[in-house]
Amino acid sequence: MSRQRALEAIAGRHSDRVAQCEFIAHEALFRKVSGLDPYEKPLESYLAYLDRYDLDASLIGEFGPPALREGQQRREGKHVITSWGLSHTAWLADPLYKTPDEILAFDPRTHDPSSLQQKIDSWCDAWERVERCVGDRLLWIPGHYQLVLHYMPFYCDWSVFMETLITRPADCLPLLDRCTEYTLDVFRAFAATPAPVVVAHEDLCSARGPIFNPAFLRREVFPRFARIYEPCLQAGKKVLAVSDGLIESIAPDLLAAGASGLFLEPHNDLSRMIDLVGPAGLILGGADSRILTTGTPRDVDSHVQAAMAHAKALPGFLFCLGGQAPNNVPLENLETYFAACRRYGKK
C-alpha cells in the first residue's frame, strides 16, 4: 500500500498496519539493501531502501548526491556543514547578527527576497520533482524549519538574542512580526501544493521542557503560530507541529493554535500524547534512536513491540525514529527495527 497507507493515516482511517514515515540516510543500510555504493548511486540506493521496507511517507524529498562523506566537514560562509549519515547538518559558527540592535533589525527576507508567487512555484516544482522520482512508493511530507523564533539560532548570536528578549521584550515584537510575515508566505506556498500535510518546525524545548517562559510563548508565539498554520488549514491540509525535547507542557497550546498533530521525540509519554491529540489527531514518532544506538537487537525488538501497542490505537499514527539514524546506529539494530515494525505494526 505504501503511499496509500500514509494517506489513510492522515485522513484518520485505519489500514492494514501502522503507517511508517522515516527520514533515514544510513550509508550501510542503503549499501546492503541496494548492493550499490550510495555515494556513487544515491538515488538508486535510496529507492531500493524504500522498496525493501515498504515505507509509506518520508520527510526527505529529493535525494541527491551526499554533500559530504562520513566524518567530513566544510565551511559555507558563516556556517559549518558536517556529514549526518548520507545527509548533512549545519550550525552557525560565526553569527551574522551579533549585537542587540543588529538582531532587532534582522529580517528573513534579506536572505530570501523571493515573492509569494516565486515561493509557490518553487514548492510546486519540488513536489512535482519528488513525484517523478518516487512515484507512488511513498508520500513526501514537506515542511519549514523556522516559524518565529528559530530563525535566530541560524543567523544570530543566540545568547545575545535570549538576553535581548528578556531585557527588551517590547523591542523584540517587530522582529517576531517580520519573521511571522515571512513564514506566512512559506505556508501560503505550501497551501498551493498538493501536499495533504506539512511540517511546522520550531524548537521550543530541551529534554527538560520549554526553554522559553511558557507565559511568553502563550502571549506572543502561539498566536503567531495560529496565523502561520491558517493558510494550510483553510486549504484543507493538516499541520504537524514539531519541536525537539519534552513538549508535554506546551503540546495543548500547539493543538489549540490549530496544529492537527505532533511530532514526538522519545522524552514524551506516548500514551499521554495519543490521548491528547484525540482519535482524529496525528502523531509522528514512537521510536527511540537512543535504544537503536546503544541497545541490543533484543532491546530494539522489545522497544518497538511496546511502542507499536500504543501506536495501533490511533489511526493517524505515523511511526518513525524520532532522532533519525545516522551512521553510528549499528546496522543489525536498524534491520531489527524495520523487521519489528513490520511484525508488530500489523492491525
Residue with cell 524529498: 61
Residue with cell 559549518: 80
pLDDT of residue 2: 86
Residue with cell 525488538: 301
Domains of the chain: 3-344 (3.20.20.210)
Side-chain half-sphere exposure of 56, counting CA atoms within 13 A? 26
pLDDT of residue 83: 86
Q: Please state, as a whole number, how many other Cβ atoms lie within 10 Å of the Cβ of residue 16.
A: 11
SS3 labels along the chain: CCHHHHHHHHCCCCCCECEEECCCCCHHHHHHHHCCCCCCCHHHHHHHHHHHHCCCEECCCCCCCCCCCCCCEEEECCEEEEEECCEEEEEECCCCECCHHHHHCCCHHHCCCCCHHHHHHHHHHHHHHHHHHHCCCCEECCEECCCCCCCHHHHECHHHHHHHHHHCHHHHHHHHHHHHHHHHHHHHHHHCCCCCEEEEECCCEECCEECCCHHHHHHHHHHHHHHHHHHHHHCCCEEEEECCCCCCCCHHHHHHCCCCEEECCCCCCHHHHHHHHCCCCEEEEEECHHHHHHCCHHHHHHHHHHHHHHHCCCCCEEEEECCCCCCCCCHHHHHHHHHHHHHHCEC
pLDDT of residue 1: 58
pTM (predicted TM-score): 0.94
pLDDT of residue 78: 87
Question: Which bin fits 77, alpha (ψ -120 to 50), beta or left (φ > 0)?
Answer: left
How far apart CA 113 and CA 116 sit, in angstroms, is 10
Query: Nearest-5° angle of CA 213, CA 215, CA 221?
Result: 85
Sequential pLDDT tens for the chain (347 residues): 589 999 999 999 999 999 999 989 899 999 999 999 999 999 999 999 999 999 999 998 878 888 788 888 999 888 899 888 888 888 899 999 999 999 999 999 999 999 999 999 999 999 999 999 998 889 999 999 999 999 999 999 999 999 999 999 999 999 999 999 999 999 999 999 999 999 999 999 999 999 999 999 999 999 999 999 999 999 999 999 999 999 999 999 999 999 999 999 989 999 999 999 999 999 999 999 999 999 999 999 999 999 999 999 999 999 999 888 888 999 999 999 999 999 999 99
For 222-253, b/e burial (b = at least 16 CB within 10 A) is bebbbbbbbbbbebebbbbbbbbbbbbebbeb
Question: Which bin fits 2, alpha (ψ -120 to 50), beta or left (φ > 0)?
Answer: left
